Amino acid sequence: MTESPRKNILLTNLSLLTGFPLFTPLPDFATKTTGNMTNKLLLPAIVVVAAVALYGVQSYFPNLLSMVKFALMKDGRENRVLQYVKDHAQRGNPNEVMKSIDTFGWNEEWLMNVGDDKGEVLTNAVVQKQPKNALEIGAYCGYSAVRIASILPEDGHLTSIDISSSNVAIATQMIDYAGLSNKVDFTVGTVTTTLKDYVKQHNLAPFDFIFIDHAKEHYLSDFRYLLKEGLVAKNTVIVADNIFFPGAPDYRAFVNAHPQHFKTVEYERKLEYSKMSDMVTVTELLDDWNGVEM
């Protein structure tokens, strides 16, 4: 029986984090020891593995503790990265704003925005599509909004939606500092509860470009809602982040299961501000399918 690719990716990432080869089977003597020999070997083995793990964490992923802290609590780093940008980037210069955020993410505190490595995939997709009416789902601190808005065509516009009012407040200031306020509108809410009314209120056409980077468990349900409500159309391009980690396997399975409706290219890159594996997908709608499976 073969192991699933998702399990292999998880084990690979754990191996990279700990420095311990999780794919390597234990030697025979370790599985055959019994009684006192097992007890004598157990504690030293635990100490060795712990030491190797700590060394691996420190050398391979110095941002791990910052990442764990981020996951456990809202610690205000979004305000700190905004101030860092104001201290280090020239106002009105989107490239310097992004560079400062990347520097902060690598050297100060881990951030959950798309980052510099995967950000290249996003940039290339925007440049190729040249969207007029783009949507971002998940604003966070405004990094990806700056990346998208800075390369939109002259008549292009970005709508960014986030469930967190504090995220929207930070992202709005970040976009203003980058000099792109005329290209981006932020709104607080979710795709399934507020976006449709927002689109009607602002008389927006179906979105021709979408960047998905919010709660991974909502990727598929929100995407299917966009299809059902006609908020996307033929040739719309959807870029989705964090397909491997934390992971959106149901979304990935859905777009790959319908090649008659979607053309998807997968890009394996590094998780933001780390050396862990991750994936970004770029999907193009080939028709006006409403997402209802017969």
Helices 219-228 and 249-256: crossing angle, nearest 10°? 40
Known catalytic membership, residue 133: no
Catalytic residue among 118, 129, 183, 216: 216
Q: Which of 63, 167, 242, 278 is catalytic?
A: 242
Residue 242 catalytic?
A: yes
- Distance CA(129)–CA(126), nearest Å, equals 5
Residues 6+ apart with CB under 8 A from 59: 19
- Among candidate residues 109, 117, 162, 272, the one labeled active-site is 272
Asked about 272 being catalytic, the answer comes back as: yes
CB 157 within 8 A of CB 135: no
32 flagged as catalytic: no
- Give the C-alpha separation, 167 to 10, whole Å: 29
Task: From the candidates 78, 116, 162, 213, give the one annotated as an active-site residue.
Answer: 213
Q: Is 75 annotated as catalytic?
A: no
Catalytic residue ranges: 213, 216, 241-242, 272
